[in-house]
């Protein structure tokens, strides 16, 4: 019997790992579909713990046939957990308005079943050990399993399996625990072969789901995105999808549109050329983000550029931009330029550790939707940026939409103004995104006076000499309109964004909710 108890203890390790896997999986799915990763992870984990508490409480009513109950719980958990991703994908595609109802229901079922597991296993083991030894051993295996799962999910499971296959895999783990337990303890069970047959059957069902998860995934993705999907993968950091319709190529990250080739130049030309035309020296340029190579394409049009460093976290994106024929045509092989050095690392860490001075710094990062991104729009980050900027240098950052996310936009501007004495905001209209804004900051010797008239005059003079840039959008005739903000987008007061108090995320959450 001692060996059987060891098997039960070992099963605690796996069921603990599965519990963490389910929490992280469902949190990731909700973040992918609904955005706002901090909110989704907080709500999902909080709901999980609540329902686990309910499950633990319900175990007091389980008074007999504990082994049977434990195996049955594992079978039910493996079934619902294994098909959880498929259920939520289906709901999001065909009944999006009811996503929260189904999402909470799935969390409720899985969380309650997880809450039932450990107390029942502890009581079974307690028949053969005293309570002190039982709790020590069970909790030790439980915590070790949770630790390993929390490392395996982001580093191995999500990037290599994806969301659907991960769910099937976790379900198979639960079913395997049920199968092994039923077989080992078969002589102590009522209808001893029933659970072996049932768990074996569902393992086969889940393996079928595993086998066909790729075409299932493509089917649902094709229903989520309007255009034909030509590339889809899960990197260690994000879900990457590329679609194509006629001549329009679109890049999505975690469901959010990054660019549409039909009008991306209306975004990238103002982002790059406004600061670079104003700058007297663009010899050494760094771009943070922009792994698609489109901003880089515009940077390399300037003859005075001698060196460009592109810092983007995700190697999958930069490799796609460099090696995919469609992308390389779009970015004009900018990623292969001898002037360019690509660094795949976090922008915050790179700037913190860098000792180099840059003449122009272009920040083309995703919107501040979570704390990892929010810190890249903080006062502390801009202070580090300033230390890496030449005394006559200029920086520019994308700053979301002044119309759809007005508080976010002006928070970025006001946070920059807390670090740089000279700042100016401008905005453009991009059909795929709507109104979009940028904030430009100048170091002490970059420009003598910063106001709309002086900036426009200097830009007009530079544009007259810049025919070699072959611009498709920027033109002296409408240049002044870029610096005009309408009544519903004009400047407002906001708090400064700090790393330890990221108000910008709250602003972003409110803007998303108001337009959802």
Instruction: Give pairs for 66-69: CB < 8 Å, separation 24+.
Output: 66/120, 66/123, 66/124, 67/124, 67/181, 67/185, 67/188, 67/189, 68/189, 68/190, 68/195, 69/116, 69/120
Cross-strand partners of 251: 242, 259
Rounded to whole angstroms, how far apart are CA atoms 240 and 248? Answer: 17
- Count of CA atoms in the C-beta half-sphere (13 A) of 448: 4
Q: Which of 217, 292, 312, 364 is catalytic?
A: 364
Q: What phi, psi does 514 have (nearest 5°)?
A: -70, -25
Judge whether 253 and 322 are in contact, CB under 8 Å: no
The contacts of residue 18 (CB under 8 Å, 6+ apart) are 77, 81, 114, 149, 170, 173, 174
- Report which secondary-structure segment, H or E, holds 53: helix 37-58
Instruction: Label the pairing between strands 256-260 and 434-442.
Output: unpaired
For the question of residue 364 being annotated catalytic, the response is: yes
Pair of tokens at residue 255:
């469901």
| φ, ψ dihedrals at 223, nearest 5° | -80, -25
The DSSP-derived string for 198-225 is HHHHHHHHHHHHHHTHHHHHHHHHHHHS
> Cβ(404)–Cβ(511) under 8 Å?
yes
Catalogue the active-site residues: 364
């Amino acid at each position: 019997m001692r060996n059987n108890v060891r098997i039960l203890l070992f099963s605690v390790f796996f069921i603990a790992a599965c519990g963490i896997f389910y929490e992280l999986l469902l949190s990731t799915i909700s973040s992918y579909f609904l955005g706002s990763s901090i909110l989704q992870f907080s709500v999902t984990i909080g709901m999980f713990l609540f329902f686990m508490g309910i499950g633990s409480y319900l175990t007091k009513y389980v008074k007999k046939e504990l082994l049977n109950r434990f195996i049955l719980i594992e079978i039910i958990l493996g079934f619902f957990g294994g098909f959880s991703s498929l259920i939520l994908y289906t709901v999001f595609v065909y009944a999006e308005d009811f996503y929260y109802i189904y999402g909470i229901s799935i969390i409720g079922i899985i969380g309650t079943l997880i809450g039932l597991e450990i107390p029942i296993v502890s009581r079974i083991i307690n028949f053969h050990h005293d309570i002190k030894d039982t709790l020590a051993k069970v909790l030790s295996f439980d915590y070790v399993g949770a630790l390993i799962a929390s490392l395996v999910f982001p580093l191995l499971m999500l990037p290599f399996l994806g969301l659907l296959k991960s769910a099937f895999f976790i379900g198979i783990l639960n079913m395997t625990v049920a199968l092994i337990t039923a077989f080992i303890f078969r002589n102590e069970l009522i209808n001893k072969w029933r659970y072996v047959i049932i768990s074996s059957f569902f393992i086969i069902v889940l393996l079928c789901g595993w086998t066909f998860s790729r075409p299932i995934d493509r089917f649902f993705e094709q229903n989520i995105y309007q255009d034909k999907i030509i590339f889809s993968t899960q990197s260690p950091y994000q879900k990457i999808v590329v679609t194509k319709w006629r001549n329009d190529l679109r890049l999505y990250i975690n469901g959010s549109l990054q660019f549409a080739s039909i009008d991306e130049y209306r975004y990238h030309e103002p982002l790059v050329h406004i600061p670079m035309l104003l700058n007297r020296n663009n010899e050494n340029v760094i771009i943070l983000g922009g792994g698609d190579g489109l901003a880089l394409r515009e940077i390399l049009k300037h003859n005075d550029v001698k060196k460009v460093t592109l810092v983007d976290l995700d190697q999958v994106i930069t490799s796609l931009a460099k090696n995919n024929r469609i992308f390389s045509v779009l970015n004009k092989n900018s990623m292969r330029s001898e002037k360019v050095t690509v660094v795949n690392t976090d922008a915050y860490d790179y700037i913190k550790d860098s000792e180099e001075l840059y003449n122009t710094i272009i920040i083309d990062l995703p919107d501040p939707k979570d704390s990892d991104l929010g810190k890249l729009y903080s006062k502390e980050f801009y202070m580090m940026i300033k230390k890496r900027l030449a005394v006559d240098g200029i920086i520019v950052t994308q700053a979301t939409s002044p119309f759809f996310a007005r508080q976010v936009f002006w928070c970025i501007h006001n946070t920059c103004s807390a670090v740089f004495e000279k700042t100016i905001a401008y905005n453009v209209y991009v059909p795929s995104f709507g109104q979009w804004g940028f904030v430009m900051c100048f170091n002490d010797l970059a420009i003598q006076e910063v106001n709309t008239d002086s900036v426009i005059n200097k830009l007009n003079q530079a544009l007259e000499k810049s025919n070699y840039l072959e611009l498709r959008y920027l033109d002296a005739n409408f240049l002044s309109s870029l610096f005009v903000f309408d009544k519903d987008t004009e400047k407002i007061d906001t708090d400064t964004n700090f790393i330890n108090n990221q108000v910008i995320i709250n602003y972003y959450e409110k803007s998303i909710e108001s337009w959802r």
